[in-house]
Amino acid sequence: MPGADCRETRSACPYCGTGCGVLLRPDGAGGLAVRGDPDHPANRGRLCSKGLALGETLGLEGRLLAPQVNGQETDWDSALDLVAARFRQAVDRHGPDSVGFYLSGQMLTEDYYVANKLIKGFLGSANIDTNSRLCMASTVAGHKRAFGTDTVPGTYDDLDQADLIVLAGSNLAWCHPVLYQRILAAREKRGTRLVVIDPRRTASCDQADMHLKLRAGSDVALFNRLLTALYEGGALDAEYLQHVEGLGGALESAFASDASVTGLSDSEIAAFCRLWMGTEKVVTIFSQGVNQSTSGTDKVNAILNCHLATGRIGKPGCGPFSVTGQPNAMGGREVGGLANMLACHMDLENRSHRAAVQEFWGAPAMPDRPGLKAVDLFRAAGDGRLKVLWIIHTNPAVTMPEADAVRAAIKACDFTVVSDITAATDTARLADVLLPAAAWAEKEGTVTNSDRTISRQRAVLPPPGQARADWDILADAGRRMGWSAAFDYQSPAQIFREHAALSGLAGSFGLDFDISGLSRISDSDYESLGPLRWPVSRNRQGGRFFADGQFFHPDGKARMLPVRWRPPASGPDRRYPFRLNTGRIRDQWHTMTRTGRAARLSGHLAEPFADIHPEDAQRLGVQPADLLRLSSPSGQAILRARITSDVQPGDLFVPIHWTGETAPSARVDTLVAAAVDPVSGQPESKAAVVAAERWQPAWYGFAVSCRPMAPRSEYWAMARTEAGYRAELAGVSPLADPEAAARDLFAQPEAGVQIMTDSGKGSTRLALFQDGKVMAALFTAPDPVAVSRDYLAGLPGTSAEGVLTGIPAADRPDPGPVVCACFNVGANTILTAIQRGGLVSVADVGTALHAGTNCGSCRPDIAELLARRQFRQAAE
Ligand SMILES: Nc1nc2c(c(=O)[nH]1)N[C@H]1C(S)=C(S)[C@@H](COP(=O)(O)OP(=O)(O)OC[C@H]3O[C@@H](n4cnc5c(=O)[nH]c(N)nc54)[C@H](O)[C@@H]3O)O[C@H]1N2
Ligand SMILES: Nc1nc2c(c(=O)[nH]1)N[C@H]1C(S)=C(S)[C@@H](COP(=O)(O)OP(=O)(O)OC[C@H]3O[C@@H](n4cnc5c(=O)[nH]c(N)nc54)[C@H](O)[C@@H]3O)O[C@H]1N2
Ligand code: SF4
Ligand SMILES: [Mo]
């Protein structure tokens, strides 16, 4: 094993679809040292802040250790007998469409394969959908319309070889940081141009040559304009177009399209078109700004049209490139884990595909029409059509649109099973049966990343308590439902072989997903399987698709689609005048059940927020650090206002990560309407309409504590710190007795107290002590509390004098919010170094403090601190 020492085990990161290889070394005490695998083709040793902090997210605290039925711990036999009986009963009494699975692109291929086989082949229902519906569905549909198959044509090598990279609706710097760094490295070498298409300024704009700040949802109009420019500029590839149908219709639509809806100037658009046209090697990376839209599939096809028309596809350095979000979003598509797919890219509605799979599985019952897609699946759970629902590895009570309605639907469903690693999630709290799953690093299997590379995840830690791997739980349930032979799986290797063999059938139908070359892989070869890109068949191994003009429609040709711009489902109006955009932050993963456990990941942005433009803030009378109340027809949220011209006037941006567990009033999907793309069924998660107003509580608070707190105020948000926890608070009824409130919040009835009240200002500062150490501290005021938060966050457990001043003594500088999560360097530390050391570049800061020298994702933030300092100097 070159690159790894003998105590290290190769595996793959469980977060984003970049699919970085990691080397794991258990410390023997339940901990794990993690570093990037220098030999993995996706990352060559690099990791981002989230990957590097993986070791800090393990541990038993909060883990679900035993099955629970109605909140009571039980054993596997009782739990799974009940699950099996309820599924069989529902199918017998109400038919197969009364049961459903809601899965996740974070499941391993082997888990997914068993789930898909169980429900489609044996329970006879196609009601299996996944969070990929919220994520990749528009890309899947767009690929199928254009290529006749769901295939990503290129590979990551194209990012190194491109001369122009367009990021359409992708904040790659934060969401696929290692790919972004790879692009920056290539840019150093060859001067790769970078264009960002995004309604807001993001970290990915830091190095961009051009940022097209278009209006939400207007991408089709922009790419249609590009297509007409390519045509008019004589840039179409007549030879390649012999392999493509539909040019005329696509052009006609494009010419009928009005680019002014993008809100971009003619000169900006013309410059973009010139750059695209004048560059042979163009990669267009696209992600959720494209997919999560009621015109998501059209957006995808508008992009594919431009690449097909110019033959810029499947060749080194060229192509449309959908980056997948989750580690196995691609694997889920391969096994057919969506309601409208079968298995191995075979089609549910194709009679011969169905018959072949049925025979292969020896399946008693196969559905012949698509099942319910995510939004409809939960509606059916809510209105009684769905009697039994099994949710695995996902948290829909937080992440589905109209999340309050989804919560109610799960509650209303007769019988809900949830498999998770913790009981402390919004969804798990609603389960009738809760099943403890083995977590990453405790289980074995495979995942496929954005460029079709299959990697192994490996177990290096024992599953705690009674936790079991998801495939194992599903197979056991299948046996208990009466299909012992079909689900007689002993190992993931056995499942993988079966999946590979089934893909051979797909290959025999002429489909692309064929890994039959691995169908006889031995247990030990599976054990040592290195990363490899599909297909893996007798005819083909890895590589790119479509340079040869061979597509998967019956006539072998690709399709260009006539696409027209449509506005998002709802437009701002007098009642709901703001457009709500949502997305991710750098250091958190979705609902934070794992990343939220690492203090240094929580230190970057410790509180949910809403970005609002200065003009809008002024109009609403919103000052920095005020709280905003957002409301929509489906819900409400309270968030901290961040006033910034990164967003356009009329737009708001809110991150997706906060939940009932971490900030109950900041669940953004309560606000998002469940409007879906008509082709893909993907919800429009980025263009809801909302009303916004300043929310005026009676008091604001900031608290730190050694232990978790139990806040009860109308607004709170809690985050991990090295020393324990920190929380932002705000309440509507005045705090009559701050000490009693603090004892309640900290659950510390006995601790000694120091208290300072300023009755003139109406503010209180108090700290609880035990054995001379600060246990907790609470600061309240009628206005947003001004204290050194990052300094205070470090105090619990220490004997700090002067805690009540709320600001650090000279010998304990306040590091400020974490900027560099890899080396745990705060903003104030960087600003001080810039000032004292006269630092002028990101590289200088790296030399002085190491900040920014590892994963690189914080370099845009460091650049901004430098700019801020230089701006100040200029003004001085
Ligand atoms: N740190 C971190 N990384 C992650 C994840 C995470 O939770 N945290 N999750 C992973 C997953 S599952 C996914 S799917 C990916 C998502 O990765 P991305 O898609 O890159 O992330 P998002 O922040 O959801 O959205 C990307 C951008 O789309 C923009 N946008 C909104 N509306 C429009 C529009 O109409 N047009 C255009 N062109 N842009 C628009 C938003 O402003 C946003 O900056 O990230 C993966 N990586
Ligand atoms: N408004 C808005 N909403 C969005 C998005 C957006 O951009 N805007 N993005 C959407 C997208 S792209 C996505 S992918 C979704 C993501 O949303 P979700 O999938 O709902 O979020 P996660 O937090 O990833 O949920 C994973 C769950 O699996 C559990 N888990 C971890 N490991 C294991 C394991 O090994 N086995 C099992 N059984 N469980 C485990 C975790 O504890 C957690 O509860 O959110 C979607 N929702
Ligand atoms: S870029 Fe970061 S989150 Fe994504 S796979 Fe690599 S280390 Fe994991
Ligand atoms: Mo996703």
CA distance 120 to 131: 18
Which H or E run contains 566? none
CB 653 within 8 Å of CB 623: no
- Distance from Cα 396 to the centre of ligand 2, integer Å: 7
Q: Over 79-110, what HEC string results?
A: HHHHHHHHHHHHHHHHCHHHEEEEECCCCCHH
- Asked whether 175 lines ligand 3 (CB < 6 A), one says no
Dist. CA 820 → ligand 1 center (Å)? 21
C-alpha atoms less than 13 angstroms from C-alpha of 95 in its C-beta half-sphere: 5
Q: Which ligand is nearest to the CA of 48?
A: 3
Helix, strand, or coil (residue 694): strand
Residue 749 CB burial class (10 angstroms; 0-12, 13-18, ≥19): exposed
Q: Which of 15, 16, 218 to mutate to test the pocket of ligand 1 (most atoms within 8 A of CB)?
A: 16
Ligand 2 site-directed mutation target among 593, 670, 676, most atoms within 8 Å of CB: 593
- What CATH topology corresponds to 137-322? Dimethylsulfoxide Reductase; domain 2 (3.40.228)
Q: Is the distance from the beta carbon of residue 176 to the nearest atom of ligand 3 less than 6 Å?
A: yes
Model pLDDT for residues 410-427, shown as the tens digit of each residue:
999 999 999 999 999 999
Q: Probe ligand 1: pick from 200, 212, 656, 686, max atoms within 8 Å of CB?
A: 686
* Ligand 2 lining (C-beta closer than 6 Å): 104, 106, 131, 134-135, 288, 292, 325-326, 392-396, 399, 419-422, 425, 437, 439-440, 470, 582-583, 590-591, 593, 656, 668-669, 672, 685
Residue tagged 């403090």 (tokens): 849
Cα of 518 vs its chain's centroid, Å: 30
The pLDDT of residue 872: 58
Q: Which atom of ligand 3 is nearest to the CA of 178?
A: 1
Confidence at residue 851, expressed as pLDDT on a 0 to 100 scale:
92
Expressed in percent and rounded to 5, the helix, strand and coil fractions of the chain are 35, 20, 45
Q: What is the pTM of this model?
A: 0.96
pLDDT of residue 811: 67
Residue of the nearest CA to atom 31 in ligand 1? 289
Contacts of residues 747-750 at CB distance under 8 Å and 24 or more positions apart, as own/partner, are 747/707, 747/709, 747/710, 748/775, 748/776
User: What is the number of other CB atoms lying within 10 angstroms of the CB of residue 202?
Assistant: 24
For 525, phi then psi, to 5°, come to: -70, -35
pLDDT of residue 314: 96
If one residue of 393, 404, 429 were mutated to test the ligand 2 pocket, choosing by the most ligand atoms within 8 A of its CB, it would be 393
C-alpha 657/C-alpha 582 separation (Å) is: 10
Q: What is the pLDDT of residue 855?
A: 84
For ligand 1, the distance from its centroid to the CA atom of residue 259, given in whole angstroms, is: 23
Characterise 720 by phi-psi region: left (phi > 0), alpha (psi -120 to 50), beta (else). Answer: beta
- Residue 526's alpha-carbon distances to 41, 458, 475, 487, 490, in angstroms, are 18, 11, 20, 20, 14
How far, in Å, from the CA of 136 to the mean position of ligand 4? Answer: 7
Tell me which ligand sits closest to the C-alpha of residue 682: 2
Ligand 1 site: residues with CB under 6 angstroms?
16, 135, 168-171, 174-175, 197-200, 202, 216-217, 219, 287-289, 293, 325-326, 581, 583-584, 586, 588-590, 686
What fold is seen in the domain 9-57? Phosphorylase Kinase; domain 1 (3.30.200)
Superfamily of domain 818-875: BFD-like [2Fe-2S]-binding domain (1.10.10.1100)
CA 327 / ligand 4 centre spacing (Å): 9
The predicted structure's pLDDT at residue 31: 86
20 lines ligand 3 (CB under 6 A): yes
**Ligand 1 atom nearest 589 alpha carbon:** 7
- Residues whose CB falls within 8 Å of the CB of residue 265, separated by 6 or more in sequence, listed in order: none
Rounded CA gap, 369 and 127, in Å?
10
CATH 2.40.40.20 given to domain 578-695 = yes
* Residue 49 alpha carbon, nearest atom of ligand 3: 2
Tokens 């790659």, located at residue: 172
Q: Kindly state if the Cβ of 14 falls inside 6 Å of ligand 3.
A: no
What pLDDT, in 10s, does the model give residues 89-104? 999 999 999 999 999 9
The CB of 47 under 6 Å from ligand 3? The reply is yes
Regions of the chain where pLDDT drops below 50: 1, 875-876
- For a ligand 1 pocket test, name from 170, 264, 292, 322 the mutation site with the most ligand atoms within 8 angstroms of its C-beta: 170
Q: Are strands 578-583 and 651-655 parallel, antiparallel or unpaired?
A: parallel
Say if 9-57 and 578-695 have the same CATH topology.
no
Measured in angstroms, how far is the CA atom of residue 54 from the centroid of ligand 3? 10
Q: Which two tokens stand for residue 340?
A: 């409208």
The finding on whether 35 has its CB within 6 A of some atom of ligand 3 is no
Domain range summary for the chain, segments of one domain joined by +: 9-57, 68-133+337-533, 137-322, 578-695, 699-805, 818-875
Instruction: Give CA separation, 308 vs 242, 314, 550, in Å.
Output: 11, 10, 12
**Ligand 1 center to 584 CA (angstroms):** 6
Ligand 2 mutation target, pool 65, 390, 421, most atoms within 8 A of CB: 421
- Decide if domain 68-133+337-533 falls under CATH 3.30.342.10: no
Asked if omega into 535 is within 30° of 0 (cis), the reply is yes
Distance CA 824, CA 350 (A): 54
Verify whether ligand 3 is closer than 6 Å to residue 18 (CB atom). yes
For the CA of 22, the nearest atom of ligand 3: 7
The pLDDT value recorded for residue 564 is: 97
Residue nearest to atom 2 of ligand 3 (CA): 48
Are the C-beta atoms of 789 and 726 separated by less than 8 Å? yes
762 CB neighbour count, 10 Å cutoff: 15
Cα(58) to centroid(ligand 3), Å: 17
469 CB within 6 A, ligand 3: no
